[in-house]
Each structure stands twice: as C-alpha cells, then as structure tokens.
C-alpha cells in the first residue's frame, strides 16, 4: 500500500501544487536518424553563473521534462551549484518528431554533443524509470569522456518481466496513465508523417506489450517484441557498464516490482552500486537517507554520490 501512496502522492501533489522548476532557457539540437532523417530534440537548460558541471535528467516512459520527479531533481541540482538539462526524449514534447524506445541511446548521445553543452568539464546523467534504463544502456558504451558517472532510479532492468508485470490487471491505473502519454506522442507523429500502424489501432490497445508490438517494433526495426526485449534489456548486461553507476530501486515499486529486477542486481562489478530503498515508482519521502551524502533526500544523495566519482 505504501508503494502505491508514494507513486501516486507526489504526482497528485505536483498536479495540484506544481513544483517550480529552476529558471531555464529553451534548448534544442538535431540528430540524423538513419530511418526517418532529421529529428529535433528539445529540453530546458538551467544555468548558474560560472557553473562548469552539468547533470542531464532523462524522464520515464510517457513522462516529460515537467514531470514532478524531473523538476525535483533539477531543483536539487541548482541547490548543489550544478547546471541541469531536462532532456525531452524524441517526441515527448508532443512535437511529432518521432518516438523513442528503452534502448535508444542516440538521443542522449546527440544531446551531449550539443554546442550549448560544450563548455562543461564534468557531466552526470540521472535517468528515471525507462529513462534510467536508457541511461544504463548508454553507459555501457559511453560516447563522451566528460560524463563521469550515471544513476538510474526505478529502472525496469528486465523489459520482458517489467512489461508482463505492468500489463497485469492490478496495474491497470498505471498502465492507462502511461499509454495515454504514449498515444499523445504517437498521434502528434501521425499528424506529421507516415506511421507504422494506423492511429485507430493504437487508440484501441490496452497493454504495453501491444504498444511495443504495434509501434516500437515496426518503427525501430526489431524482428518481434521478444527480440526487442532480449536485445535491449539492460539487466543481463550490467557487467558491461563502463562508468561508475548508481542503481536505485524501490522495494514497494508497483510499476517495476522488485522481483523483476532483483536477479540482475547480484554480483555487480565494484564500480556499480545498487541501493534498495522504501518508496514507490520514482516517489520517495522527503528525508530519505541512502547513506551517500550529508543532505537528506533522494536527489541530493544521488548528486553527492555522482560528484564523488
């Protein structure tokens, strides 16, 4: 029950009394996708005077740069003297550019190559939920030496097991919320360019697996849903992580159940640290102590760990 409260509560509070994001300027860059051509990425870049360190924040499936957990992390970064980029994965801004998947690291690579980020000497990445999974996949073959460490929060390490869990009847409310956001992203794409599956079929689907089968697989060239899950899941590949990595998971997470990720968090290499904490899906109590820093709270603790690497 507490896991549900910590999942729903922070999101509901943010809807009623939104957290104010740090002052930021609009950011954008363009990458070339071999299947669809130019794809524009957007985001919000918060700068402090003379800051030379940056944290890139990556939202989850169906999320956006104004999701409560992203804004809280950006606020914590500002309090710690760090600049932040709240990165909007392709299409998450409802621009109709394209849509992403759990292993599509190209967006993060392109963001880091942006001229607007050229002056930073140290960069950290924090990914949440599916964005955390994407961050882990990127860290297995990092493309920017300025990135010193990464962290994931509530990442679904096993895509097949995670999908099976969220597609259960008990997760109907969460699944409907995620699918609503995905449909909005897809509809914006469909309004601008050809899509692999007609929009009415996407409107009728009721599971994440169906989304992956009808949208992700044909758009991104996978052979099947099972091929997508097997080829992209980070869990079996964690020993390939090439950077100091912090993996934070919640024991009460109703969207990414502990049983789906625990098998992958055993016998990790020394530069990979896993922490289990009480909480929900990307939702935690304000005074959470991971034993990683002097300031309590999930975000300050993660930032303290990242900066020590």
Mean pLDDT of 11-22: 72
Give DSSP secondary structure letters for the chain: -HHHHHHHHHHHHHHHSPPPPPP-EEEEEEEEETTTEEEEEEEEEE--TT--EEEEEE--TT--TTSHHHHHHHHHHHHTT-EEEEEE-TTTTS-SS----TT-THHHHHHHT-GGGTT-SEEEEEEETHHHHHHHHHHTS---TTEEEEEEES--SSHHHHHHHHTSGGGHHHHHHHHHHHHHHHHHHHTTS--SS-HHHHHH--SHHHHIIIIIHHHHT-SSHHHHHHHH-SGGGGGG--S-EEEEEETT-SSS-HHHHGGGGSS--TTEEEEEES-BTTB--TT---SS-SS-SHHHHHHHHHHH-
pLDDT at position 266 is 92
Mean pLDDT of the chain: 93
What's the mean pLDDT in 133-137?
98
pLDDT cut 70: percent of the chain above it: 94
Q: Looking up tokens 């109703």, which residue turns up? A: 254
Band (13; pLDDT cuts 50, 70, 90): low
Range with the poorest average pLDDT among 1-10, 86-95, 173-182, 194-203 = 1-10
Q: Is the pLDDT of residue 268 over 70?
A: yes
Instruction: Average the pLDDT over 90-96 and give the result.
Output: 95
Average pLDDT rounded to a whole number, residues 109-125 = 97
Whether 58 has a pLDDT exceeding 80, the answer reads: yes
Q: What is the pLDDT of residue 6?
A: 64
CA distances from 200 to 20, 27, 98, 190, 216 (A): 37, 33, 18, 11, 16
Q: Rounded to whole angstroms, how far apart are CA atoms 204 and 174?
A: 17
**286: pLDDT strictly greater than 90:** no
Query: According to the model, what pLDDT value does residue 3 have?
Result: 65
Q: If we measure between CA atoms, which residue out of 67, 90, 72 comes closest to residue 11?
A: 67
For residue 11, pLDDT beyond 80: no
pLDDT class of 280 with cuts at 50, 70, 90 = confident
Average pLDDT over residues 14-28: 83
- Two tokens, residue 71: 């804004």
pLDDT per residue over 177-232, tens digit each?
Answer: 999 999 999 999 999 999 999 999 999 999 999 999 999 999 999 999 999 999 99
Alpha-carbon distance 114 to 100, whole Å?
19
pLDDT for 113 beyond 90: yes
C-beta separation of 280 from 252 below 8 A: yes
Whole-angstrom distance, CA of residue 9 vs CA of residue 12: 5
| Domain covering 2-308 in this structure, CATH number | 3.40.50.1820
Q: Token pair 């934070």 is at which residue?
A: 248
Task: Please state, for a pLDDT cut of 90, what percent of the chain lies above it.
Answer: 84
Rounded to the nearest 10 degrees, how much is the dihedral formed by the CA atoms of 64, 40, 234, 180? 40
Query: Would you place residue 12 in the very low, low, confident or very high pLDDT band (cuts 50, 70, 90)?
Result: low
pLDDT at residue number 288: 85
List 150's β-bridge partners, or say none.
125, 245
pLDDT number for residue 1: 62
Between 26-30, 82-86, 234-238, 292-296, the lowest mean confidence (pLDDT) is in: 292-296
pLDDT of 294: 82
| Tens digit of each residue's pLDDT (9 = 90 or more) over 66-78 | 999 999 999 999 9
CA–CA–CA angle 297, 298, 300 (5° rounding): 70
Give the separation between CA 294 and CA 269, rounded to whole angstroms.
Answer: 26
pLDDT one-digit tens code per residue, 237-261: 999 999 999 999 999 999 999 999 9
The pLDDT confidence band at residue 7, using thresholds 50, 70 and 90, is low
Q: What is the model's pLDDT at position 167?
A: 96
| Residue 14 confidence (pLDDT) | 60
């Amino acid at each position: 029950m507490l896991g549900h409260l910590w999942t729903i509560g922070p999101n509901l509070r943010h809807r009623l009394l939104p957290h104010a994001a740090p002052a930021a300027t609009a950011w954008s860059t363009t990458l070339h996708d071999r299947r669809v051509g130019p794809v524009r990425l957007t985001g919000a870049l918060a700068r402090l005077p003379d800051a030379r360190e940056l944290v890139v924040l990556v939202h989850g499936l169906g999320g956006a740069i104004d999701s409560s957990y992203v804004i809280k992390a950006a606020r914590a970064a500002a309090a710690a003297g760090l600049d932040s980029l709240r990165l909007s994965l392709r299409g998450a801004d409802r621009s109709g550019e394209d849509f992403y998947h759990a292993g599509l690291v190209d967006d993060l690579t392109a963001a880091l190559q942006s001229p607007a980020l050229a002056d930073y000497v140290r960069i950290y990445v924090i990914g949440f939920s599916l964005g955390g999974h994407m961050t882990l996949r990127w860290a297995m073959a990092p493309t920017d030496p300025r990135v010193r460490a990464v962290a994931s929060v509530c990442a679904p390490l096993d895509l097949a097991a995670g999908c099976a869990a969220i597609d259960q009847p008990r997760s109907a409310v969460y699944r409907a919320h995620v699918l609503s956001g995905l449909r909005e992203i897809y509809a914006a794409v469909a309004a601008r360019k050809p899509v692999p599956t007609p929009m009415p079929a996407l409107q009728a689907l009721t599971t994440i697996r169906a989304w992956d089968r009808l949208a992700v697989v044909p758009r991104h060239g996978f052979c099947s849903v099972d091929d997508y899950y097997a080829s992209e899941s980070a869990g079996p590949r964690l020993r390939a992580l090439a950077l100091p990595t912090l993996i934070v998971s919640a024991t009460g997470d109703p969207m990414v159940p502990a049983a789906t990720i625990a098998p992958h968090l055993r016998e990790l290499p020394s530069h990979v640290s896993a922490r289990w904490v009480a909480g929900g899906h990307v939702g935690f109590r304000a005074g959470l102590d991971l034993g990683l820093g002097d300031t309590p709270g999930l975000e300050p603790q993660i930032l303290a760990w990242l900066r020590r690497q």
